[in-house]
Structure formats: C-alpha cells, structure tokens
Amino acid sequence: MSGLPAETDRFTAELDAAVEAHMNWTRRILRCAVVRSTPGDDVLDPQAHALCHFGNWFMANRGQFEMLDAAAAGRVDAVHQAMHDAIRSICTRVMQGQPGSEADLETFEQSQGELIGLLARFKTLILSKAVQLDPLTQLPLRYGIENDFRLYQKEARRNRTQLYVAIIDVDHFKPINDTYGHPVGDRVLQQLAATLKAALRADEPLYRYGGEEFLWLLKCKSGAEARQSARRLLATVGTTPVPIDDEETLRLTVTLGLALAGEQEDLASVIKRADLALYEGKAAGRNRYVIAEG
C-alpha cells in the first residue's frame, strides 16, 4: 500500500510504463545502427512522436500535465518530437548505407535527457499534489487553488469566456453532527463530495475549502449558463439521498455564492465577493444560489 489515492497510483504507474516503453524503443534504434535492420514503420513515420506508446499516452493525458505546469507540458511535447525527428533522420541515413549525422545524434541525446528530466519533475509534482488531498473527501485542498485560478483566468481571457468562483456550503450541517455524531457527519461530507464531483464537468475543479465548505471553479460562456449550472447543482444535491444506515437516509441542501472573476482580478478579491453572496443566500433562506453583483 502506497498511502496515496488510487487515482494517483494509477497515473504514476501509467507514466512509468510509458517511459519504460520508450526506453525499450531505443533497443530497436541500436539494432538499426549496428546491423542496419529496419527500426519499424512507426519510427520512420514523420508522425512517429504521435504513434509511439508514450506519445499516445501523453496526448490523452496532456490536460493533467498542463494543470501542473503548462509551459513544461509544452516542452515535453517539443523535446519528444525533436527526439523522434533526430532518430528518424539517423535511421534513414543508416538504412541508406550512410553514417548518421553527429548533429542528429547530439539532438537525440539532448532531447532524450531533457525529456527524462521533465518527466521526473512531473512525477514529483504529481506525488506532491497527491499529499495535498483532503483524506476524507479525496478532493484537493485549498493550497492549489491560486495556481489553478490563474490558469483558468488566462484561458477565459484567451477564449473570451467567463470564470466564476463558487463557494458551496452545506445547509444545517451542525445539527447533523449533533444528532448523529461526527462519524456520520464525515460520511455525509464524503457522499456530498462524490455527488458534487459527479455533477461537475471534468475540467471544473472542486476543492475542500474548509469544514463543510467547498470551492468550485466554474467555466461558462455567459451568466445565463452559470445560473443554469448552479440550478442543476442544487437540484442534484437535493434529489440525492445520503444513507445514514440500512434504514435511514438524509436529504441535503446547499447554498451557493458565486462571483464572476474579472480579467485581472486576484483570487482573494473574487472569493470575498463569493462569500458575501453566500451569506446573502443563507440569510434569504438557504437552498439557493446568489451571484455577486459587479
């Protein structure tokens, strides 16, 4: 047992397997250089970097890499392609009975070394991020919100879309703890976290913000879409029973405070406005959403 979330274990295992596959790929290159056997069409193809096991896996998971470090993710793509281009050039010349180019060999060695270094750094980032997960809900804690917010804010500016910060608070949570005890309260939070996560799009982060509060980064095209998403979330929570034991279930409601992030606004300012909207929703009777003005 690693003590890490299963999702992290699986991702790092896939990363290790993809890197190992690339290391095995170099054996075919060595055979080509020594005995002039063909390394295979996948190596000689101009799109070899997209055909190899690592290339396929990386492109399928690129979004996760970009969330950790967008610039480094772009660099992984670039050096991986440079490595393949250099090897294709070397193998083509060898197959034609010519010596490989020293410049191509240097490019291959440099790009392979940089790729391995980048992937080692990403593995460290992935493992570091894993220990910042809330052990109860398996949601990320608030430590990574600032970086994610900046990335999504830039994306919204680039795509001319909108980014909302939403604070989600469980209604009447203290009576649940007082009536059923804290172990049941913990199960309620676990169930709610799973319900919220299942209701949101994969590219909309959800965080355990503290106590019975969650924070949601909502990407949308308009205020109308943000209101529709908030209504859908309220309905999903309200219609999903939470089992207490074999015979009893609870019905939960939540209150949402939302604030539209300005193009240059800092996260603290947006959260403050979302909090004020949340308090307004609580004062108005709970089980509703309020969008901050301005």
Assess whether 273 and 152 both reside in one domain: yes
Are residues 32 and 25 in contact, defined by beta-carbon separation less than 8 angstroms? no
pTM flag (> 0.75): no
Domain contains 137: no
Assess whether 100 and 163 both reside in one domain: no
Assess whether 41 and 87 both reside in one domain: yes
Assess whether 171 and 84 both reside in one domain: no
Q: What integer is the mean pLDDT of 157-162?
A: 93
Rounded CA separation 294/291 (Å): 9
Domain contains 81: yes
Picking from 87, 104, 130, the residue at the C-terminal end of a domain is: 130
Domain contains 177: yes
Active site residues: 212
Domain contains 135: no
Domain extent for 151: 142-291
Assess whether 85 and 224 both reside in one domain: no
Assess whether 52 and 109 both reside in one domain: yes
Assess whether 150 and 103 both reside in one domain: no
Assess whether 125 and 147 both reside in one domain: no
Q: 214-259: per-residue pLDDT in tens?
A: 999 999 999 999 999 999 999 999 999 998 877 889 999 999 999 9
Average predicted confidence (pLDDT) for the chain:
86
- The total of structural domains in the chain comes to 2
Domain contains 226: yes
What is the predicted pLDDT for the residue at 3? 46
Assess whether 180 and 210 both reside in one domain: yes
Domain contains 136: no
Rounded CA separation 30/93 (Å): 14
In this prediction, residue 64 has a pLDDT band, given cuts at 50, 70 and 90, of confident
Assess whether 155 and 283 both reside in one domain: yes
Picking from 109, 130, 151, the residue at the C-terminal end of a domain is: 130
Q: Tell me the CATH number at 246.
A: 3.30.70.270
Rounded CA separation 190/133 (Å): 13
Is 33 exposed, middle or buried (CB count within 10 Å of its CB: 0-12, 13-18, 19+)?
middle
Picking from 83, 101, 130, the residue at the C-terminal end of a domain is: 130
Q: What integer is the mean pLDDT of 98-119?
A: 85
Domain contains 189: yes
Phi, psi dihedrals of residue 220, rounded to the nearest 5° = -155, 175
Assess whether 74 and 50 both reside in one domain: yes
Assess whether 274 and 177 both reside in one domain: yes
